[in-house]
């Protein structure tokens, strides 16, 4: 993994941080590969219960590094960019634990596409957002359009993608692109970590199943989504965490989850 992408785990909460502040955390070829490697590493790490994605300095992620890519106008470069990052974000979506975006600064272009692949999204009040791909003569290229439509609806997504305009955290929250705005004076990364630590106490198998079900419901027919819900529900019913929840209720005490292997 390159120095441009940091990855580590602390007490069940992992951090994947883009560390290219001089380039506003734009992803060059090396950083794209390192990002994909970090997502793969997270998927192999049994101790992770939540993953935070953030950027160093005063930006979240500014998409691909246009300074480097300007020298590569051949179709093969576009294919590589699409392939590496689309696969990385698909893998991010399929991780069996919640992924939290900590947006402490601007999210631009592909940075907004990464944002849409996160399960929970928190931003500083000063953060700004822009799906600017159209200003570069492009569409989204990392799977962002379908995810944006699923998150905020076709009409809102159409306006943001056609204009590429910049909007603030308050508007992003109002349309459902982000869930929380960090309170004034609060470090966004610390707020995201506190959110991740809240999730540590919840039953991890139920969290994984719920995440999987929500993503499935966005692409399946209602009948197929209901069948998947029934399968997951029935599988979880005899689980140690569900038995613990029922016992704790009967004994009028807080449940203690995640004690099973």
82 pLDDT more than 80: yes
Strand partners, 168: 128
Residues 122, 212 share a domain: no
The total number of structural domains that make up the chain: 2
For the chain, the distance separating the N- and C-terminal CA atoms, rounded to the nearest angstrom, is: 29
Rounded to an integer, the average pLDDT of 219-225 is 95
Residues 35, 9 share a domain: yes
> How far is Cα of residue 24 from the mean position of the Cα atoms in its chain?
19
- Whether residue 256 lies inside any domain: the answer is no
What pLDDT, on the 0 to 100 scale, is given for residue 77?
85
64 pLDDT more than 70: yes
Helix axes 144-152, 154-163, angle to 10 degrees: 130
Question: What range defines the domain where residue 211 resides?
Answer: 204-251
CA distances from 90 to 37, 126, 220 (A): 13, 29, 17
- Whether residue 83 lies inside any domain: the answer is yes
CATH at residue 24: 3.90.226.10
Rounded to whole angstroms, the Cα distance separating 21 from 83 reads 25
Cβ atoms of 127 and 103 within 8 Å: the answer is: yes
Residues 220, 196 share a domain: no
Residues 227, 100 share a domain: no
pLDDT band for 71, please (50, 70, 90 cuts).
Answer: confident
- Whether residue 148 lies inside any domain: the answer is yes
Residues 102, 188 share a domain: yes
> How far is Cα of residue 49 from the mean position of the Cα atoms in its chain?
14
Residues 247, 143 share a domain: no
- Boundary-marking domain end, from 200, 220, 241: 200
- Whether residue 261 lies inside any domain: the answer is no
What pLDDT, on the 0 to 100 scale, is given for residue 260?
65
Percent pLDDT > 90 in the chain is: 87
Residues 230, 145 share a domain: no
Q: Please, what is the average pLDDT of the chain?
A: 95
Residues 29, 9 share a domain: yes
């Amino acid at each position: 993994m390159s120095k441009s992408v940091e990855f580590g785990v602390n007490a069940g909460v992992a951090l994947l941080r883009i560390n290219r502040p001089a380039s506003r955390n734009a992803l060059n070829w090396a950083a794209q590969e390192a990002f994909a490697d970090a997502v793969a590493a997270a998927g192999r790490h049994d101790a992770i219960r939540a993953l935070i994605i953030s950027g160093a300095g005063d930006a979240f992620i500014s998409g691909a590094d246009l300074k480097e890519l300007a020298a590569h106008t051949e179709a093969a470069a576009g294919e590589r960019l699409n392939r590496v990052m689309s696969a990385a974000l698909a893998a991010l979506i399929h991780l069996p634990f919640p992924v939290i975006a900590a947006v402490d600064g601007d999210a631009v272009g592909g940075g907004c596409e990464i944002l849409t692949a996160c399960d929970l999204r928190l931003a500083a009040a000063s953060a700004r957002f822009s799906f600017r791909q159209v200003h570069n003569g492009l569409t989204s290229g990392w799977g962002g359009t379908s995810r944006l439509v699923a998150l905020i609806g076709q009409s809102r997504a159409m306006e943001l993608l056609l204009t590429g305009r910049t909007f603030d955290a308050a508007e992003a929250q109002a349309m459902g692109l982000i869930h929380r705005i960090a309170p004034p004076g609060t470090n966004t990364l610390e707020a995201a970590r506190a959110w991740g630590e809240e999730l540590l106490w919840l039953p991890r198998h139920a969290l994984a199943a719920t995440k999987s079900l929500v993503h499935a419901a966005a692409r399946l027919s209602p009948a197929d989504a209901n069948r998947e819900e029934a399968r997951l529900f029935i599988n979880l019913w005899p689980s140690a965490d569900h038995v613990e929840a029922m016992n704790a209720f009967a004994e009028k005490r807080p449940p203690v989850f995640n004690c099973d292997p």
